[in-house]
């Protein structure tokens, strides 16, 4: 994403291509936003906000 979209804006974009499944679109939008924010966080705090990787 070149700009920071809100979850609501992401859902609006998904609505153009996906019919129904509102809860799934909301979950995907939140996850996408969180991932974008983690990737764009300052390097010194990035490790603090990354989710734990459990196998």
- pLDDT tens per residue across span 41-53: 888 887 777 666 6
Q: Is pLDDT at 16 greater than 90 in this prediction? A: yes
Structure tokens at 10: 């992401």
Q: Is pLDDT at 55 greater than 60 in this prediction? A: no
Q: What is the pTM of this model?
A: 0.71
Residues 6+ apart with CB under 8 A from 36: 1, 4
- Are 47 and 38 in contact, with CB atoms under 8 Å apart? no
**51 backbone dihedrals φ, ψ, rounded to 5°:** -70, 150
């Amino acid at each position: 994403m070149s700009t920071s979209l809100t979850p609501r804006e992401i859902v609006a974009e998904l609505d153009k291509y996906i019919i129904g499944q509102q809860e799934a679109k909301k979950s995907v939008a939140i996850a996408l936003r969180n991932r974008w924010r983690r990737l764009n966080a300052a390097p010194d705090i990035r490790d603090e906000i990354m989710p734990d990787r459990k196998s």
